[in-house]
Amino acid sequence: MVEGKVVVVTGAGGGIGRDIALAMASHGAKVVVNDIGAALDGAGGSAGPAQQVVDEIRAAGGQAVPNTDSVADAASAARIVECAVESFGRIDAVVNNAGILRDRFFHKMSVDEWDAVLKVHLYGAYYVSRAAATHFKEQNSGAMVHMTSTSGLIGNYGQANYAAAKLGIVALSKSIALDMLKFNVRSNCIAPFAWSRMIGAIPTDTDEQRARVDKIKQMTPAKVAPLAVYLASDAAGAVNGQIFSVRNNEISLISQPRPARSIHRSEGWTPQSIAEHAMPAMHASFHPLDRSADVFSWDPV
C-alpha cells in the first residue's frame, strides 16, 4: 500500500504509534520513528523506545531510522521532517500521533497543565505538518494523518486541555485539507479506540469499572494501524478532510458540525422571545450532558 513512501510517525515508541510505524514498514514504507521517550505526562526522555521500534522494523526486513526530537518546538519538529529527507531523500506522509496527558478537573487545572498538553498535541501537529507542507507543495503530493479523540469530538471529564487540543486538531486538519488541496495534499483525522498507556489510568475500583477496562483491553493498538496506512497511501487519493474512528474491527465515519435546527423570526429576537420560543423549539436537538446517554456511549481515547 505504501511501497517506497517515506513516512514520519511521531510518538511511535509505543502504543498506537508503534503499531502504525510497524504497519507502515510492513507495507513497504521507509519510516522515521519519532519518540522522545518521555513519561505519560511528558517528563524525562530516552532514546530507547524509538530505537527499539527501529530494531523491530529492521529485524523484519524493513527500513527505519530513529528520531528523538520534540514535536512541541517548531525548530525541533522541523528536524523530524529533515531527518526523513536526509535519511531517505524525501517525505510522503506524516502521522501526528505524539501526545501526553495531564488530566485535571477544569477548576483545578493549572496554566502549565493546559499549556503543556496543547503544545504537544495541537502545536506539535501544526509544527510537524507545517514543516512537511513545504516539501509536499514542491513535489505536488503528500498525506497527513492526525490523531484526534472522542474526548474532543464528544467530551470527557477532567480533560479540558486534551479535549481542546484534540478538537483543535480537527479544525487544523480541515484547514490543511482546504488550503493544500490544489497541491494534491490530503489531511484526515483518526479517533482511535485502543488500550494504551494513554488510558491506562482509568480507575478499576468497582466491578463495573473493571468490566469496562477489560472490554477496552480487547481493542489493541494494532487495530488502528491499517486505517493509518490506507490514509497515507495513494489508494486514499479521494479521501480528504474527513474524521474516522476505529473501534476494534469497526471503522466509522464521524459526522462533521452542521446546523441541527433553525428558527426564523421576521421581527428579530429579544432575549425573552428566545427564551419563550426559540429554545423550547430547539431543545429536542440538544445533546444531553449525561455519561449514560447514547452520545457518550463511546469511551474517549
3-class secondary structure, 66: strand
Active-site annotation holder among 123, 126, 127, 162 = 162
Polymer length of the chain: 301
3-class secondary structure, 146: strand
C-alpha cell at 15: 502504543
Q: What 8-state DSSP symbol labels residue 287? A: P
Other Cβ atoms less than 10 A from the Cβ of 298: the count is 15
Annotation marks residue 162 as catalytic: yes
**For 229-265, b where at least 16 C-beta lie within 10 A, e where not — what string?**
bbbbbeebeebbbbbbbbbeeeeeebeeeeeeeeeee
Distance CA 236, CA 229 (A): 10
Distance CA 26, CA 143 (A): 18
C-alpha cell at 46: 530516552
Q: Is 15 left (phi over 0), alpha (psi -120 to 50) or beta?
A: left
Known catalytic residues are: 162
